[in-house]
Structure formats: C-alpha cells, structure tokens
C-alpha cells in the first residue's frame, strides 16, 4: 500500500511538473488593500503557489462597490502598480504579456502572472482606456461582474431574472476592440443575453475563466449546457470555479468539483475544460461578519471546498482526478495544456 501511495504521489508530481494554470485569482485587490506592506506576494502567496506547483495565475483587477464610480479608475491603476512593484520585488514572479513571455517565465521556473480585468468599470465609457490598460499588460477582460455597467449586465445569483438586454453599444465596441488588440474576452459573469451578443461579435475561441455548470448550481451567473456547447463549438475553454459547485454546503466537495469537469467534458470534450479556482476565502475571512452577511444577501453564501481552499491544495485535485479514472493526458489538459493552447492562439 505504501509503495502504491508513493507511486501515485510521484505521478502527481510529474503531472504538476510543468506548472498548473489557474485563470482567476483576486490577487490585485488584496495587494491594493495591503499597499502599506512590502513583499506580500512573496511572503503570503508564494508558499501556497509553490506547494501546488502553480505555473500561471490570471490575476484579476476588480473594483469593489465602495470605490465606484469616482475612484474606480484610480484604484485599478493602483492595483496594477502594486502588482508590478510586488512582482519586481521577488524574482520568482513574472508579469507576462504574450505566449512567448509565458514560455520564457516557465523555462526560468518563474510563476507567470497574466493580468486580467473582472468588470470593465475602470474604463468607464472611454474606449481609449482599453488601449492604456493593454499597454499596462491587461490581456483578458470580462465585461461585468454581477453588477450592470456601461458595457453590459452581469448574470444574477438566481435561476432567472437577469437583465433581458445584452451588451450596450459601448460593450459591443469594447468586444470588437479587444479582439483587434489581442485582449481575450472572458464570458464569466455576463448575463445570458450578453453571452449571446459576445459570441455573435467575436470570431476567436471564447473563454469563461471561472464558472460552474448550471446542471449542478442553477443560477444565471453560471453557464447552461447550451452555453457550454457554444463554447465547445468554437474551441473555447471553460475554467471550473471552486466556490459555486453547489448551493448546498454538504455537496460542496472535491467530488462535486470533478462532476463539473466531467459534465463539461461530456458535452464538449476534455479539450474544453480548464481551471479557474477563484480562491477568495483569504479575502472573505478578512472581512467583518457584517460584510460577509452583505455578500450572502447580495449574491450567495460561498461554500468553500474543504480540501480545495487555496493553491496549496491543488494536488488534492489531481489525486482525486486519478482516483476518478482520468488519464495522465486528460489531467494535463485540464491542469494546463488547454489554457496554454488558448494563450498560444490568442496572445
Ligand atoms: Zn468572479
């Protein structure tokens, strides 16, 4: 038995050796809140990222309600500034702007940071600012969070009731401009009508950085079987989220997380599944209880999966995938190769 455990652990290490890709992490807002401290990335995040052999993280600029609208742009710029300062202070990180830079970072054993934006609020209604954020390194944009903004409307945390309208004229222009510039349009959070609008405008493979299947958690913030198939038909990739796997706490398990992977793979093939963990328990725990209650009232109570709560737990996922009968090739695709294909084609 011990020998068998050892061989499984060796197999997991082998699968993680190339570094796994997590396309959604709320790092910039935390670095911003801790802007008075130094080396936060190295001391608070690097140990867990290394324990899970994380090779690339999509780090999302996100503006909390309390900073809207007046200071949203300012806070976004400060988040980017903190990212650069923190990444430069530790040689283990590299902010990457292209597939070539990602490859180079990986060859040097560095953790690649891909700057993304969750909600276009920092742009206001000014398309010129997209170009500015592109120059700052932003390479993927999701138009909305759960809110409505100048670009469109977010999907709500209920099975129906999201805005009937899709993208605004500004939202449509933004999508066209993103595709022209080489900014990946992320369909996470967008409402169903906006989802259709984005796919009618874009021609490249679409992505959903962090979401779950409505099959297991039926809210418009997640994606339906029909939407999953639309992504698959266009050779896109869907990152499976760890915090919305079930409305019930007792069903929020690693097995249910893998049910989402399996469900998507059954609909569109293994090439369409990736990781978008969305680990934000560390932020949630920093909040006073009143703010946690506010989140529950506005959206939902997040159920964190006990053995998949932060990046250091990533190997638990691989262990469970092996247990569930996934082959090495399938696991590698889920952990990194599918996202890397998207980067190779789009960045
Ligand atoms: Zn999100």
Contacts of 84 (CB under 8 A, 6+ apart): 95
Cα gap 94→170, rounded to integer Å: 32
For 89, other C-beta atoms within 10 Å of its C-beta total 13
Alpha carbon dihedral 103, 181, 229, 233, in 10-degree steps, equals -80
CB 192 within 8 A of CB 158: no
Residue 335 Cα to ligand 1 middle (Å): 19
Cα gap 98→108, rounded to integer Å: 16
Tokens of residue 291, six digits: 């703010």
Residue 144 Cα to ligand 1 middle (Å): 9
Residue 36's alpha-carbon distances to 32, 65, 75, in angstroms, are 9, 22, 14
Enter the pTM of the model. Answer: 0.96
Residue 2 Cα to ligand 1 middle (Å): 40
The DSSP letter of residue 305 is B
Contacts of 229 (CB under 8 A, 6+ apart): 267, 268
Cα gap 109→91, rounded to integer Å: 10
Residue 14 Cα to ligand 1 middle (Å): 30
Residue 7 Cα to ligand 1 middle (Å): 36
Residue 238's alpha-carbon distances to 54, 66, 192, in angstroms, are 18, 30, 16
pLDDT at position 329 is 97
**Tens digit of pLDDT at every position of the chain (347 positions):** 577 788 999 999 999 999 999 999 999 999 999 999 999 999 999 999 999 999 999 999 999 988 887 799 999 999 999 999 999 999 999 999 999 999 999 999 999 999 999 999 999 999 999 999 999 999 999 999 999 999 999 999 999 999 999 999 999 999 999 999 999 999 999 999 999 999 999 999 999 999 999 999 999 999 999 999 999 999 999 999 999 999 999 999 999 999 999 999 999 999 999 999 999 988 898 999 998 998 888 888 889 999 999 999 999 999 999 999 999 999 999 999 999 999 999 99
- Can you spell out the DSSP letters for 243-283? S-S-SSGGG-SHHHHHHHHHHHHHHH-GGGEEE-----HHH
Alpha carbon dihedral 90, 186, 127, 174, in 10-degree steps, equals 160
Cα gap 17→39, rounded to integer Å: 26
Residue 92 Cα to ligand 1 middle (Å): 26
Biggest CA pair distance of the chain: 62
Residue 142 Cα to ligand 1 middle (Å): 9
Residue 213 Cα to ligand 1 middle (Å): 14
Alpha helices (H) along 108-220: 128-135, 169-181, 192-201
Residue 26 Cα to ligand 1 middle (Å): 8
CB 305 within 8 A of CB 242: yes
Alpha helices (H) along 202-253: 225-233
Tokens of residue 89, six digits: 């202070």
Residue 145 Cα to ligand 1 middle (Å): 6
Rama region for 189: left / alpha / beta (φ>0; ψ in -120 to 50; rest): left
pLDDT at position 1 is 56
Cα gap 114→75, rounded to integer Å: 18
The DSSP letter of residue 182 is T
Helix or strand or coil: residue 61? strand
What counts of helices (H) and strands (E) characterise the chain? 16, 9
- For residues 290-309, b (16+ Cβ closer than 10 Å) or e, as one string? eeeeeeeeebbebbbbeebb
Residue 84 Cα to ligand 1 middle (Å): 22
Residue 226 Cα to ligand 1 middle (Å): 21
pLDDT at position 6 is 83
Residue 10 Cα to ligand 1 middle (Å): 33
pLDDT at position 304 is 95
Burial class (CB in 10 A: 0-12, 13-18, 19+), 58: buried
Tokens of residue 344, six digits: 């190779």
Cα gap 61→110, rounded to integer Å: 21
């Amino acid at each position: 038995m011990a020998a068998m455990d050892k061989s499984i652990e060796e197999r997991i290490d082998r699968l993680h050796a190339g570094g796994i890709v997590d396309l959604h992490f709320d790092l910039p807002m935390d670095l911003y809140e801790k802007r008075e401290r130094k080396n936060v990335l190295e001391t608070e995040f690097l140990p867990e990222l290394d324990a899970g052999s994380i090779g690339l993280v999509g780090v999302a600029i996100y503006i909390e309600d309390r900073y809207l609208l007046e200071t949203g742009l300012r806070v976004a710029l400060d988040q980017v500034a903190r990212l650069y300062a923190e990444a430069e202070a530790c040689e283990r990180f590299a902010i990457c702007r292209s597939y070539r830079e990602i490859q180079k970072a990986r060859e040097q054993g560095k953790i690649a940071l891909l700057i993304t934006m969750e909600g276009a609020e920092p742009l206001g209604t000014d398309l010129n600012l997209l170009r500015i954020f592109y120059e700052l390194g932003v390479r993927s944009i999701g138009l909305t969070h759960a809110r409505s903004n100048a670009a469109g409307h977010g999907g709500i945390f209920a099975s129906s009731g999201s805005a009937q309208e899709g993208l605004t004229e500004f939202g449509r222009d933004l999508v066209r401009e993103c595709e022209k510039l080489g900014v990946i349009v992320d369909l996470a959070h967008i409402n169903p009508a906006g989802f259709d609008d984005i796919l009618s405008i874009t021609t490249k493979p679409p992505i959903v950085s962090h979401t779950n299947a409505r099959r297991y958690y039926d809210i418009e913030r997640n994606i339906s079987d029909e939407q999953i198939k639309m992504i698959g038909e266009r050779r896109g990739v869907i990152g499976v989220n760890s915090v919305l796997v079930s409305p019930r706490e007792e069903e929020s398990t690693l097995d249910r997380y893998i049910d989402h992977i399996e469900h998507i793979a059954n609909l569109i093939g293994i090439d369409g599944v990736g990781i978008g963990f969305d680990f934000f328990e560390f932020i949630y725990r920093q909040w006073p209880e009143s703010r946690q209650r506010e989140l529950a009232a506005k959206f939902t109570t997040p159920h964190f999966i006990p053995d998949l709560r932060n990046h250091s737990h990533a190997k638990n996922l691989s262990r469970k995938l092996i247990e569930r009968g996934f082959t090495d090739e399938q696991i590698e695709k889920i952990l990194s190769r599918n996202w890397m294909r998207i980067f190779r084609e789009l960045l």
